Amino acid sequence: MADGSDYPARQGTNRSAANAATIDLSEARRRNTPELITFQRRELDLILRIYGRMVAEGHWRDYAIDHLRDRAIFSAFRRTSEVPLYRIEKDPSRARKQGAFAIISAAGLVLKRGHELEIVLKYFDKAPRLVR
């Protein structure tokens, strides 16, 4: 009885153990989950330059950055507890049609949209005024 003839399942486990492969779970998750959309360093530099100017003028006081699966959002607030005054969005799915970058107001209106962030951010440049 101890010759192993009563245990035919053992032979099958040796074959399945040879065919089994170990999988690193973090690598599998990384492959299965899409990359988050983020602002590149140059883009963030342009946005923070505008933010700094608006803070110095007293218009904005806080900001938030959200990196989502479909877009990246920079939100500018007058106060932390309020809704954002402006949202600067990067949406690569619109890159070919309307442009990946957009400035959206607190009411949800698209104020400016374009392919290049530097041109879109000119929305915040003041028009020269006549001083008497």
* For residues 15-44, average pLDDT: 76
Which of the four pLDDT bands, split at 50, 70 and 90, describes residue 102? very high
CA 70 to chain CA mean position, Å: 7
pLDDT band at 79 (very low <50, low <70, confident <90, very high): confident
Q: How confident is the model at residue 23 (pLDDT cuts 50, 70, 90)?
A: confident
pTM of the model: 0.70
16, pLDDT greater than 90:
no
Q: What percent of the chain has pLDDT over 70?
A: 81
Structure tokens at 69: 């699966």
| Residue-level pLDDT at 75 | 95
Domain-by-domain residue ranges, the chain? 41-124
The tokens describing 121, both together, are 């951010």
Q: Are 64 and 41 in contact (CB under 8 A)?
A: no
Residue among 76, 84, 72 at smallest CA distance from 39:
72
Q: What is the average pLDDT across 86-98?
A: 90
User: Is pLDDT at 42 greater than 70 in this prediction?
Assistant: yes
Looking up tokens 């299965």 gives: 32
What Å distances lie between residue 17 and 39, 83, 115, CA to CA?
Answer: 46, 57, 54
Amino acid letter at 83? V
Q: What pLDDT sits at residue 12? A: 52
34: which residues sit within 8 A by CB, 6+ positions away? 69
What phi and psi values does residue 16 have, to the nearest 5 degrees? Answer: -70, -30
